[in-house]
Structure formats: C-alpha cells, structure tokens
Structure 1
Amino acid sequence: MSVRIFSQNAVNDTLKTNIEEPFDYKKYYDCDFGEGNVLIIIKKGKEFTDLKDLRKSGKGFAVKMEAIYSMEFADGQRYESSVVKTITQDSISITNFFNENAAKLAGKPFKLITYPLSSLKYIRFINDRMLSLYNRKNIQKDFDLIVKKMEQAKMCPAVLQFKERNGEMKVCHFYLTSQGYDLLYESNGRVYYLEGKVEWK
C-alpha cells in the first residue's frame, strides 16, 4: 500500500509543492494549531519542565486534543479509538467512536462523552500489534495530572491519499503507542493502523 500524507501546513512544509494548487486541509477536517489545554500525565514526585523533557526522560506523557489514546475510566468503560476533543482544568471530553461511520457500524449514535479528570483510571500503550501486547499505566495510583495552556495544543490529524484506491482521501488521527505515535484511519466503519510506504507531503 502506498499513500501520500498531507499535513495541515502542506504549502509551507512540502518540497516541490505546486503553490498554484495548495492543499485545502479544511475541506477534509476542521482543526487548527493554536493555544489550548494539554493534559500532562507525570509520575508522582516528578517535576514538569517541558514536553521534550517529559518525553525523553520517561517521566510521563502528554494527552493532546484531536489525538487518540487507549483510555479506561472509573466506570469501567474502555475507549480504544476515541478522539480527545476538549480538555479543561478538571474534565476531558472524547468521542465515543473514531468517527460517525464507526459508530454507525456498531449501531450506536456518535456522541461526545465528558469525564472528570479524576476518573481517568488507566491508559494503555500498545507494544506489539500482532500479539496485542499492551503496557498499562495506572494513572490514579502512579501519576499526577497537570493541565497546561500551551501553543499547538492539538495534534491535528493528517489527511491520507490512497494511491491504490484512485486517490481516495482519508482523515488519519495520531494514536499514542509505546514507540510513539501511529496513524489510524477508518474504512467502511472499521479502524485500521496505517502500514506500508508513506510519502510525507
């Protein structure tokens, strides 16, 4: 499978882009990088300095709007491919499915669900997709939650163009794993990991 991925700033960060034909990101998804809240999940007793240190030191990780995280809450509900839409000082709002097509396949209405941050119980990081191995983080026991206002608070999804499907375009959300971020996309209501050759545009 071969795909082209367009970022939101396609005209600016693409080599050999035809400026006369700029990529219209908003045609496919309404998201813009800007100031907003980021949820910092950091090991108890550790201090937060910045996102780079957080990632490199292994002290914790960040939850950003428009990205996907495998989350479980105190009510026992687990969400594998839900998109984080809003983060406030004391709550997090997520979609109940990846998108409307995924909800339709499950026979459920597509909606937004809001939880208090205090009810976030576990976040799972996939280690091996083939073996379905997960590394589970006990948020309530081992981590502190900090909400910080930051620039570029959202991880706006990429847009994929599938060459083998007559140039079909797909919105592709970032999904946090143990190795970093993977890309997920939906086809006929089912959610898939992006595999194969990728050309960044």
Structure 2
Amino acid sequence: MKNYKLILFLLIFPVLIFSQNIAADTLKIDSEDSFDYKKYYDCDFGEGNVLIVIKKGKEFTDLTDLRKSGKGFAIKMEAIYSMEFTDGKRYESSVVKKITQDSLSITNFFNENAAKLAGQPFTLIAYPLSSLKYVRFIDDRMLSLYGKKNIQKNFDLIVKKMDRAKMCPAIIQFKDRNGEMKVCHFYLTSQGYDLLYENNGRVYYLEGRVEWK
C-alpha cells in the first residue's frame, strides 16, 4: 500500500469507518465517529493460525522481520493473495478464510456478486498446504507484471498460532456512489498491502493517496 501507516493504524484500531473525498482523491478516517463494523462485515482480529512462508534454511523469529529481512512473508485470514496450486488453478481475488496445520481454505471469488457475474456459485475451496505451488506479487498494475515465488522449490510452510491472526477488511464509504459502503480486502503486492473492492461484480484496486484525521 502507498501509505504503510494506514496498515499499522488498522492493526491497532480494527473497527473504523472510512470516507472517500472524491475531489481530493483522499481517504479520511474519523475515529471519533461511532460505527457498527459488524453491520457490514463480521470479523475480529482474534487468535488463530497464520501461514508463514519462509525461505528454505531460514529461521522464523517474528512477523515484523519476515519481509524486512527478505526471509519470506505471511498469509493471514481475511486477506487476498495471488496463489496457484498444483491442480493448475490460479486465484487472484479469493479471500483466505481458514488456515489449519495442513490445509488452506479460500473463497472461489471475491464475494457473492463477483461469483454471480461469473455465473458460478459462491463457495469455499479447501487445499492441502502441500498443493500450494506459486504465490505471485504484482509489480506493476498497468502492465500486469508479477514476480513469482516458487513455494515448493524455495520455501517452507509453517503454521503458527498467533494473536491478531486476521487482516479484517476496511469498510469504506464511496461518496461518488451515494455514500455506498463497501468491504475492501487487503491484497499483498511487492510494495506491501493494497485494498481491493467490488463494484457490479468486478474487482478493482482502491486508488488515491491515504490519510486520516
């Protein structure tokens, strides 16, 4: 994400409302406003499993050290990752819903609207961790350039039980759509986390700089 501070802010304050100022192309957070997060999405950071993807031969110490040191990255529930499995199927906007010691469960689409547009039922898909083949990190949106990580060849998978195991999505109000509220999931790229949202069944990146009051 363009502003790493937003991620830290969200990790500290999971229940926040965002408003989009279209004229300035800016997101603003007013933490003083009362907001019913669960009216739009049922999520709390809570305790749970996190999938650590770490380079072979490296030792896992903590989440903060992973990407900074180049050792690897973490896959957390409620976030989105570009993943390909040994059955040849690749998922770009599927939400990670459950992580166990030997499996990973994801939605087949971003949400029900995206599944409906594709003419498919909205379902949960479970894969053995051993079937995770590649994870891709987008380098350039405009050119659709990805950097590909060969998981089975170069990485080990470790499941750790942690506090704050989920990346609960942001709830954003789009003023240019008559104040419509949208659930925006975090998506891991080469630069960090971006936000994705759905409109009329199609999934988009959230554009614009980010700030808060």
Q: Which whole-Å deviations, capped at 9, do the CAs of 1:90-130 have from their partners, x for residues lacking one?
A: 00000000000000000000000000000000000000000
Matched length? 191
Report the Cα offset of residue 198 of structure 1. 3.7
Does 1:101 find its partner at 2:116?
no
Amino acid in structure 2 at the alignment position of 1:8 = P
- The CA RMSD measured in Å over matched residues stands at 1.6
Report the Cα offset of residue 16 of structure 1. 6.2
Other-structure match for 1:53: 65
Other-structure match for 1:151: 163
Other-structure match for 1:3: none
Other-structure match for 1:186: 198
Q: Is the 8 A contact 2:16 2:171 kept in 1?
A: no
Q: How does 1:11-160 map to 2 (within 5 A)?
A: 17-18=32-33, 22-160=34-172
Other-structure match for 2:188: 176
Q: Which whole-Å deviations, capped at 9, do the CAs of 1:126-162 have from their partners, x for residues lacking one?
A: 0000011000000000000000000000000000111
Residues in 2 aligned to 1:70 and 1:112: alpha-carbon distance in whole angstroms: 16
Residues in 1 aligned to 2:31 and 2:126: alpha-carbon distance in whole angstroms: 43
Q: Is the 8 A contact 2:133 2:152 kept in 1?
A: yes
Alignment CA distance shift 1:16-1:103 (3 Å): closer
Other-structure match for 2:7: none
SS at match of 1:101: helix
Aligned-pair identity in percent equals: 82
Alignment CA distance shift 1:109-1:16 (3 Å): closer
Alignment CA distance shift 1:43-1:54 (3 Å): same
Residues in 1 aligned to 2:144 and 2:48: alpha-carbon distance in whole angstroms: 33
Q: Which whole-Å deviations, capped at 9, do the CAs of 1:36-65 have from their partners, x for residues lacking one?
A: 000000000000000011121010000000
Amino acid in structure 2 at the alignment position of 1:135 = G
Moved more, 162-171 or 76-85: 162-171
Residues in 1 aligned to 2:31 and 2:107: alpha-carbon distance in whole angstroms: 37
Residues in 1 aligned to 2:45 and 2:70: alpha-carbon distance in whole angstroms: 25
SS at match of 1:108: coil
Report the Cα offset of residue 199 of structure 1. 4.4
SS at match of 1:140: helix
Report the Cα offset of residue 200 of structure 1. 4.0
SS at match of 2:66: helix
Provide TM-score, normalisation by structure 1. 0.91
Q: Is the 8 A contact 2:52 2:74 kept in 1?
A: yes
Report the Cα offset of residue 15 of structure 1. 5.3
Amino acid in structure 1 at the alignment position of 2:79 = A
Other-structure match for 2:14: 8
SS at match of 1:159: strand
Report the Cα offset of residue 166 of structure 1. 1.6
SS at match of 2:185: strand
Residues in 2 aligned to 1:160 and 1:16: alpha-carbon distance in whole angstroms: 13
Residues in 2 aligned to 1:157 and 1:64: alpha-carbon distance in whole angstroms: 12
Other-structure match for 1:162: 174
